[in-house]
Amino acid sequence: MVPLEAGAGPENPPCPACGEPLFGWIDARPGLAGPVSRCESCGLGAVGAAGRAEEALEALDRMRNGATIRIASRASFSAWIGGAGWAGLEPASRYLFTPESVRRLVANRDQVVAGTRWSPGRGIATMWQTVLNGFTFGRNLALARLGHAESVHAEPPWQRRLDTLITLVVAIPALIAAIPLELTAAATSRGSTISLDLELL
């Protein structure tokens, strides 16, 4: 087996969380700052340049609510089935975290993850929007309308109009599909949205 380190190079910069090389995941798309790479070791995703651990920690801190951080997990089943249509891939995304990448990042400042738990409401919503994104030209239209996400609209006006119709027609069937999918994902520790409690060592 070839070690991950063998892939290191200018095109595969080190992961800000664990130092292993990042590999291509999604090419450049409208609404994103650049192509998306991902770490095979800790699962962290980076949009555009990889950056440093300090930058990833700053992005993580913007998600904090006291000692708790809630992430849309790139290790989730919804991210796996959604790919470029994953609802966690928002226009402002810079880093796409996993529980493991959070553990490695916060260790840099003598913190540990004391507990993790699935966020059911937000998790089902993320899975629902990911399923919907499979039918539309734009992304995250329904959650954005509800004030819970940033959307990326299709450029041609006819596609935007069609997206509105598709979202209205498919919303309920997509929700019916999303609930068992997300419940199964959560049961296998691959829920869409995870809350992590941090503590100092």
| Residue among 174, 171, 185 at smallest CA distance from 80 | 185
What's the whole-number mean pLDDT along residues 69-89? 96
What's the whole-number mean pLDDT along residues 95-106? 97
pLDDT digits (tens, 9 = 90+) for 144-181: 999 999 999 999 999 999 999 999 999 999 999 999 99
Q: If you average pLDDT over every residue of the chain, what do you get?
A: 93
What's the whole-number mean pLDDT along residues 7-17? 81
85 in helix, strand or coil? helix
Per-residue pLDDT at 136: 97
What's the whole-number mean pLDDT along residues 65-92? 95
pLDDT at 84 over 70: yes
Domain range enclosing 129:
4-200
Per-residue pLDDT at 1: 46
42 DSSP assignment:
T
Per-residue pLDDT at 2: 41
Amino acid at 72: A
pLDDT at 7 over 90: no
pLDDT at 25 over 70: yes
pLDDT at 77 over 50: yes
pLDDT digits (tens, 9 = 90+) for 102-136: 999 999 999 999 999 999 999 999 999 999 999 99
Give dist(CA 168, CA 166) in Å, integer. 5
Per-residue pLDDT at 171: 97
Burial class (CB in 10 A: 0-12, 13-18, 19+), 105: buried
Structural domains of the chain, count: 1
pLDDT at 9 over 70: no
